[in-house]
Amino acid sequence: MLRGKTIIVTGANSGIGKATAAELLRCQGRVIMACRDRERAEKAAQEIQQEAGTEQGELVIKLLDLASLKSVRIFCEEIMKEESRIDILINNAGIYQCPYTKSEDGFEIQFAVNHLGHFLLTNLLLDLLKRSAPSRIIVLSSKLYKYGEINFDDLNSEQSYDKAFAYARSKLANLLFTLELSHRLEETGVTVNALTPGIVQTNLGRHVHIPLLVKPLFNLASRAFFKSPEEGAQTSIYLACSPDVEGVQGKCFANCHEELLLAKATDEEVAKKLWDISEVMVGITT
Q: Cα–Cα distances in Å, from 102 out to 90, 98, 157?
A: 25, 10, 10
**Is 84 within a domain?**
yes
**Is 188 within a domain?**
yes
**Is 103 within a domain?**
yes
- What per-residue confidence (pLDDT) applies to 206? 46
Residue 265 contacts by C-beta under 8 Å, 6 or more apart in sequence? 145, 172, 175, 176, 179, 252
Residues in the chain: 286
- What per-residue confidence (pLDDT) applies to 229? 83
In what order do the strands lie in the sheet containing 190-195? Answer: 58-63, 30-35, 6-10, 88-91, 135-140, 190-195, 252-254, 257-258
End-to-end Cα separation, the chain, in angstroms:
35
Say if residues 137 and 191 touch (Cβ distance below 8 Å).
yes
The angle formed by the CA atoms of residues 231, 67 and 143, to the nearest 5 degrees, is 35
- What per-residue confidence (pLDDT) applies to 54? 78
Query: How many domains does the structure of the chain reveal?
Result: 1
**Is 23 within a domain?**
yes
* pTM for the model: 0.91
- What per-residue confidence (pLDDT) applies to 286? 61
Which sequence positions are flagged as catalytic?
Answer: 167
**Is 1 within a domain?**
no
The answer to whether the bond into 134 is cis (omega within 30° of 0) is yes
Handedness of CA 194, 17, 233, 24 (dihedral sign): positive
**Is 240 within a domain?**
yes
Query: Average pLDDT of each block of 10 consecutive residues along the chain (286 residues)?
Result: 95 96 96 97 95 88 98 98 98 94 97 98 98 98 97 95 96 98 98 91 50 50 66 96 97 97 98 98 87
The Cα 172–Cα 247 span in angstroms is 23
Residue 204 contacts by C-beta under 8 Å, 6 or more apart in sequence? 15, 94, 95, 96
Say if residues 72 and 120 touch (Cβ distance below 8 Å).
yes
**Is 225 within a domain?**
yes
In terms of residue numbers, what domain contains 208? 6-282
Query: Buried b vs exposed e over 67-80: b needs ≥16 C-beta within 10 Å?
Result: bbbebbbebbeebe
**CATH of residue 230:** 3.40.50.720
